Amino acid sequence: MNPVAAFTGIDPTALALQGDGMALRHGELDAHSRTLATRLRAQGIRVLATGLDNGPAWVIADRATEIAGVVHVPLPVFFTPTQTAHVLQAAGVDAVLTSPEAPAPWPGANGEALALAETPLRLYRRTAQAVKRPEGTTKITFTSGTTGTPKGVCLSSAAMEAVAQGLAQALAPLNIQRHLCALPLPVLLENIAGLMAPLSQGAACTVLPLAQVGLTGSSSFDPARLQAAVLAHEPHSLILLPQMLRGWTAWLQHTGQRAPDSLRMVAVGGAAVGAPTLLAARAVGIPAYEGYGLSEGASVQTLNLPGADRAGSAGRPLPHAQVRVNAEGEIETAGSLFSGYLGSATPVPAWWPTGDLGHIDADGFVHLHGRRSNVLITAFGRNVSPEWVETALTTQPGVAQAVVFGEGEPTLSAVLWPWSPAVSDAQLQAAVLDANQQLPDYARIQRWTRARAAFTPDTGLATANGRPRRQAIEALHGDALHAPDPAPSFS
């Protein structure tokens, strides 16, 4: 993003950010960002990592790196120390900006104190070996796959700006003036769709510490806190993960409350949502709309919108994106692609293969079927995307998480984690039966077991960004999943 051109014409006295007892106008945000940019340039910093909770300081640092021509490496708050050390080394980070309470990013480091918009911080510096990266890289976002080792996705200002402007154009009829950031700001979706897009249109963003919107770590969520934050700040828009939407919806149903009328758009992405979840959310006042995207496409490519909505789909392509399906049924995208992976010289093709299977219907809505790498082939030769079945299960009452297995088996099995310990096995069985009614016979669950632990990074059953570790889950529950059936009787 060109930090000058993108904000031309915005009233400098208009509110830009609200934080924990703090407010900044657009002109003040710009002034703070330029002051920090001058400091970064003067100190010769080339690659700055930020390990900060949500708040105005994070936004100032992000804007300052853009102005100074410094590469920004946002550190997710849920990364382990080992993952963080990997990121700092792989990206050639020579400075880290953290809170005073945070541990030093490397042994023996002595940081200098500074403040951004009255927020006390510490800046650590070191001499780091330069790392080759694609030309034009201004941000490196790290995602952890099934191995848990973060992979650096290098993004240019042009790609991120294209997404922000595409979203702004698509959402213009909603006249969104207030956005509440409910996801960690290092998450690219919140960074671009929740910050860049609204701020570039002169809107205001509320950036509270994550605990105040109900998030702890990567997978602990308190819907009561989110409801309180939405009531207090009356945003027009939010971005949520599917698990957050399910939890908030269930809490509203249980308490008899409704989401505030201020909401005009709640975008949901990160994993499949399912039509039943969306419709249940809308019934309690949450205007939820599913979207789809990936880091390699600078966060979001498709989105359902009011007046252009097909529940159960991922929506139509946004103005900045092109989407097609290749001969193997894999979704490919173009229009706002990343510049390449950190440490790889492989050029990015004009059309990026996403690894997701799907189709585009006659009206242009994109439908996802699951990850190509996860497809199961049953003993009867049927190809099944486990995410399809898992979505059917997690839209049932009582089921918080589900992972499906069945490679080479005659039938499918599942490991289920309930919403609470109060959910009985009988309720889980009823949920399985109801989900099976939505599925063809070859995709129905014939055996299931209650999970012995939640699928979280803390238990080792999920990656740092919340994706289930399928092999670990199967290993932990193998005795229950693969117990022999009783011998058939032929008498």
131 and 261 inside one domain: yes
DSSP 442: G
317 and 432 inside one domain: no
406 and 271 inside one domain: no
Pairing type for strands 366-371 and 47-51 reads unpaired
In Å, what is the CA distance from 386 to each residue of 360, 375, 376, 482?
20, 7, 7, 17
Domain end among 310, 336, 367: 367
Domain end among 314, 336, 367: 367
Q: Which backbone phi and psi does 209 adopt, to 5 degrees?
A: -55, 145
76 and 213 inside one domain: yes
Pairing type for strands 220-221 and 215-216 reads antiparallel
DSSP 75: P
Average pLDDT of the segment spanning 368-395? 86
Does residue 490 form part of some domain?
no
Does residue 206 form part of some domain?
yes
Confidence class for position 183, pLDDT limits 50, 70, 90: very high
* Paired strand residues for 332: 324, 353
306 and 289 inside one domain: yes
189 and 276 inside one domain: yes
Residue 147's pLDDT is 46
Share of the chain above pLDDT 70, in %: 94
* CA neighbor of 237 nearest in space, from 162, 317, 167: 167
* CA neighbor of 19 nearest in space, from 207, 186, 230: 207
Average pLDDT of the segment spanning 179-195? 95
Average pLDDT of the segment spanning 410-439? 93
Residues 211, 214, 218, CA angle at the centre, nearest 5°? 80
In Å, what is the CA distance from 216 to each residue of 211, 226, 235, 301?
6, 12, 21, 28
User: How does the average pLDDT of the chain come out, rounded?
Assistant: 90
CB 186 within 8 A of CB 31: no
- Domains of the chain: total: 2
CATH number assigned to the domain comprising residue 405 = 3.30.300.30
338 and 440 inside one domain: no
Residues 352, 357, 445, CA angle at the centre, nearest 5°? 155
Q: Is the pLDDT of residue 172 over 60?
A: yes
Q: Is the pLDDT of residue 78 over 80?
A: no
- Which helix (H) or strand (E) covers residue 242, if one does? helix 242-255
Does residue 487 form part of some domain?
no
Confidence class for position 146, pLDDT limits 50, 70, 90: very low
Domain span at 434: 375-481
Domain end among 367, 389, 423: 367
Residue with tokens 């009829």: 173
Does residue 491 form part of some domain?
no
CATH number assigned to the domain comprising residue 220 = 3.40.50.12780
